[in-house]
Each structure stands twice: as structure tokens, then as C-alpha cells.
Homo-oligomer: A and B are copies of this chain.
Amino acid sequence: MENKVAVGVDIGGTNTVIGIVDQNGAVILKTNITTPAHGNFERYIADLSDTIKKLISDANKQVKNLKVMGIGVGAPIGNYHTGTIDFATNLSFKGRLPVVDSVRRHFSEMPVIVLTNDANAAAMGEMMYGGAKGMRDFVMFTLGTGVGSGIVANGDLVIGADGLAGEIGHSVLIPGGRLCSCGFSGHLEAYCSAPGMKNTAIELLKQDDNAESLLAKKSFADLDSKMIFEAAKQGDKIALEVFEKTGEWLGMGLANTVYHLSPAAIFLFGGPTAAGDLLFNPTKASMEKNLLSIYKNKIEILPSKLNPGDAAITGASAMVWKELGK
């Protein structure tokens, strides 16, 4: 019997991670290469392709009758429709990068080569391998340096006319509010990303002039969302308030998404979700407070069941099964 697998590739600004993933989302083998330092984009794709071929060859030694069904690539602003990464600010390569066409030149026989943005890939991973199995309508939010999102409706990934659906982090939460990384103000991301939590901590420290907080003893450069979590666990008042405020803002944002999509569940993924109830409880309370009664107590807010370390490559690999299921 054939052992069908997919290759998942996660292109980040610093590293590109490549994994061979089975149909249950288990990573058989993985490796990585640096993303810059290949000279130019075509050279990078050539090196990436060699690495994929080597990894497939190694996997063939471990698993009998291995059959590679496709290569799924996740990247910031990865466009599903065009197969290109367009003007990514965090990559050293500039302009419009033809990822799918370039990889195709090295894998002419591969059944599927597909690209999408990382949050969409994460949502597909959740549906194929994680907590969203069998769900036809859900939304996934990835909390990290930014706030990404992936939407599934009617059992299919919502990609949008321009391939740019699921940038909910850039919807306006508070008009005229905090500056977002994108240069606009008041976006959900400015409040609920990891840097947003840091900003909240600093705002609270300034307001209270509370030198007793564990966070007051950290330098601006050192302070991060993990540290806020550690302080909150020790009962630090400011740190606890950061989670309360973050949850309040996130819940407002989730309610707006519910009014769009009426999902069965909303999954949260990323570093800040390690805080568990500290984040989920105020988020749930705020979302419910902002929902009309017809929606109340229906929508679950759940932690992602993807393995955090492998989510990017498993998510990218899930895109291959999506394509084959068409």
C-alpha cells in the first residue's frame, strides 16, 4: 500500500523550514535552510528544491512505498491565485516572486504545487489534522508578531477574489487608536499581537506609575509577551491587567468576525495562547458581551491543536490535500 505524504514549506524572513508530513499531520522528517544568502530568488528556489529532493530521498529510506503527492508552501502574503509572493516586507527578495512557477521548474512531475499565506495554511492544518476536523465553518487567528487569520466557510478555505482574504488583524477595532505595524491606526493587530501586549503593559505602567510591578523592572527592549505571562502567573497586577485588556479587545474583534461569518468555533494559535485561561477567559467574556442574543453561548473559542513547532509546515502540507480534494 502506498504511504501518501505531502511536503510542507514555510518561508520566513530568516529561515525556511521544510517537512515531509503524512496524512495525519505527523512530521516524518524536517530540515531548514536560511532564507537570505542565496544570491537571488531563483538561486534560493534552486537550493530549496535540492533540499526538498534530498529530504524526500531520506524519507524514502525510512518509509516503504512513500508517495509524495505535492508541495505546499506557506509564506507571508503568499497569494493562492497567482502563486506569487507580492512585495513582502520581511523577505530579502524584492518585488513579485513567482514561487509556484519557479518550484515547478524543479518538480515537473509533482501532482500539486500550491502557495498560500501562513495563516490560511494554519487554518487548513487545523481542519485536516487539528481541532477543526469535520467543521465546515470556523476561523483561526494566529497571534504573534502580528495577528493573522484564516477563514473556512462551507467547508472550504476562503481565499477571496484577490487571494487576500483573512487579514482580519488589519480591521479597525478602535478608530483613531493605536498605531499598527502597517502604519494605519486602531487595527486589531495593534492591540492583540505580542508587540501589542507589550505596548499595553507599558501604557498601564505609565498610567499607574506602579513601580512595584515585576514588569516595571524590565527594560523596554527586554519586555515581551512571554515575560508578561510569567509575571501574571506570579500574580503581578499589571501583567494580569494586560491579559484582561488584551482579551477585551480580542473579544470585540472576534464578535465582529462572528457577525460576518457565524462560525462554529474560533481557534487561537501562537505564543500568547500559552497563557491559557488568562487570555481565553477575558476573550470569551468580551466576545459574548458584544454578541446579539441569537449568537450567545454558541461559538467556542478553542486553542489550536496543532503542534506549535510544526504548525507552519503541517499547515502548508495540508494545502496539498485541499488541492487534491477539489
Write the residues of chain A forming the contact surface with B, with a CB cutoff of 8 angstroms: 77, 86-87, 135-138, 151, 153-154, 156, 158-175, 182, 184, 252, 255-257, 259-265, 290, 292, 294-295, 298-299
Contact = CB atoms under 8 A, between A and B. Distances in A.
Given A161-B136, A164-B295, A172 B255 contact: yes
B172 A292 contact: no
Given A172-B252, A256-B256, A164 B264 contact: no
Given A153-B158, A158-B154, A290-B172, A257 B260 contact: yes
A-B pairs, top 8 by smallest CB distance, nearest first, are: A160-B262, A161-B264, A165-B262, A171-B256, A164-B262, A137-B161, A171-B259, A153-B158
Nearest to A81: B262
Contacts of A160: 137, 153, 261-263
A77 B298 CA distance: 16
A170 B259 contact: yes
A310 to B, nearest CB: 27
Given A137-B160, A173-B175, A257-B260, 9 more contacts: A136-B161, A153-B165, A154-B156, A159-B262, A162-B298, A164-B262, A166-B260, A168-B259, A256-B256
Given A174-B175, A175-B174, A255-B171, A151 B260 contact: yes
Contacts of A162: 262, 264, 294-295, 298
B164 A154 contact: no
Nearest to A290: B172
Nearest to A153: B158
Contacts of A159: 154, 262
A263 B161 contact: yes
